Amino acid sequence: MVDYMLTVFSKEGESLLNESFAAQNDDEAKTIGQKRLDEEGYTEHTHRCVAPNARLVLFHR
């Protein structure tokens, strides 16, 4: 398991969500990240999920 970082921003650039979670791989991280976005109602906000090596796993602008 490795730690991924999920961050959501408002239109003004304010951080609305900034949390880490563990996943087995990028596919699982993408699924977990999308689920969290759905739960919080942030699917249409600017967001990113980043792998430990700084690779983007999930991104929406």
For the stretch 5-39, pLDDT in tens is: 999 999 999 999 999 999 999 999 999 999 999 99
pLDDT score at 48: 98
pLDDT band, residue 3 (cuts 50/70/90): very high
Sheet of strand 15-23, all strands in order from the earlier edge strand to the far edge: 15-23, 2-9, 46-50, 56-60
- Domain extent for 51: 2-60
For residue 4, the model assigns a pLDDT of 98
pTM here is 0.92
State the pLDDT at residue 39: 97
pLDDT for res 54: 94
Report the number of distinct structural domains present in the chain: 1
